[in-house]
Amino acid sequence: MKKKKAFYIMTIPAVLLFFIFHTLSLLEGVFYSFTNSKGYGDWSFVGLKNYIAVFQDSNVMHAYIFTFKFAIITTIIVNILSLLIAVGLNSKIKFQNTLKSIYFIPNILGTLIVAFIFNFVFAHVIPNIGETMNISMLSKNILGDEKLAWLGIVFVAAWQSIAFNTIIYLSGLQTIDTDVYEACDIDGAGSWQRFKSITFPLIAPFFTINMVLCMKGFLMVFDQVVAMTGGGPGTVTQSISYVIYNGGFNQGSFAYQSANAVVYFIVIVAISLFQLRVLEKREEKVL
């Protein structure tokens, strides 16, 4: 009985706080998505009008395209680089712990602060270097170029996210028994064959975790967009999260963007579940 009381004392307050600050807000958003509320004042029910409008909004569709392109490319880049770094850090090298600490620094920095710093770097530092060295490619601010602005956001998001993924891959690599590698060496397996046949299959669950977390996180990209481009030039780098925020709080379309948020929530959940199902099946085949 004492153990049960301790369990309830620890869990009930946490559940209540989670419900009040997370679940309740979600339910309120769903409720207001069926109204014409501006976030204040009087409102009335409009049924599915907001949801129909979302699917007919070309600006929302463009934001979906940008967000998915950004999320897919950044997820691939982050997982490839973080896996390579983790393999390198897991090998017998000097200053291993120091390098681990250095690689993890970007993750502890505030996302907005990092984005503002890189905004200054892309807008002033790199163009000045390009002009000094007479390199035309570096002489302009890529964040002001409609075709290149998204690459700057990808670079900053990947640079900061690689640290966390590297730690997860390192955790997976350290669970592999060294006897397995010794057996591979006896069989004469090369580095690539050892990685392909032993290392990667054994860290498959960690790969699944990283892929799902990365995709979910990058689909909700917001801070980098706000700090670096503000959705510009024009609207080319507007993510769904930015459209929801800007439209709901700055343009008075609170209920409409609530509907947009509900649709996007369903999309993210569906993608995450699909990833889990596909990657877990792959784990079963590999193992």
Give CA–CA dist 238/63, Å, rounded: 5
CB-CB contact of 118 with 152 (8 Å)? yes
Confirm whether 210 is domain-assigned. yes
Average pLDDT of 127-135?
A: 90
pLDDT bracket for residue 186 (50, 70, 90): confident
Confirm whether 208 is domain-assigned. yes
Average pLDDT of 76-100?
A: 87
pLDDT bracket for residue 22 (50, 70, 90): confident
How many other C-beta atoms are found inside a 10 Å radius of the C-beta of residue 69? 12
Q: How many domains does the chain have?
A: 1
Q: Does the pLDDT of residue 44 top 90, yes or no?
A: yes
Structural domain harbouring 282: 59-286
Q: Which of 1-10, 119-128, 210-219 has the lowest mean pLDDT?
A: 1-10
Confirm whether 167 is domain-assigned. yes
Which residues, including other chains, have CB under 8 Å from residue 123's CB and lie 6 or more apart?
141, 143, 144
- Pure H helices in the chain: 2-18, 24-32, 49-56, 58-90, 96-108, 111-120, 126-132, 149-173, 178-187, 191-194, 200-202, 204-219, 223-228, 240-245, 254-286
Give CA–CA dist 246/251, Å, rounded: 7
Mean pLDDT score of the chain: 89
pLDDT bracket for residue 6 (50, 70, 90): confident
Confirm whether 10 is domain-assigned. no
Tokens of 160: 């900061």
Give CA–CA dist 285/283, Å, rounded: 5
Confirm whether 81 is domain-assigned. yes
CB-CB contact of 171 with 83 (8 Å)? no
Confirm whether 23 is domain-assigned. no
pLDDT of residue 236: 93
pLDDT of residue 162: 93
DSSP 8-state secondary structure symbol assigned to residue 144:
G
- How many angstroms from the chain centroid is the CA of residue 77? 12
Here the CATH number for the domain that contains residue 132 is: 1.10.3720.10
Confirm whether 50 is domain-assigned. no
Confirm whether 43 is domain-assigned. no
Could you report the per-residue pLDDT of 256-281, keeping only the tens digit for each? Answer: 999 999 999 999 999 999 998 888 87
Respond yes or no on whether the N-terminal peptide bond of residue 13 is cis (omega within 30° of 0). no
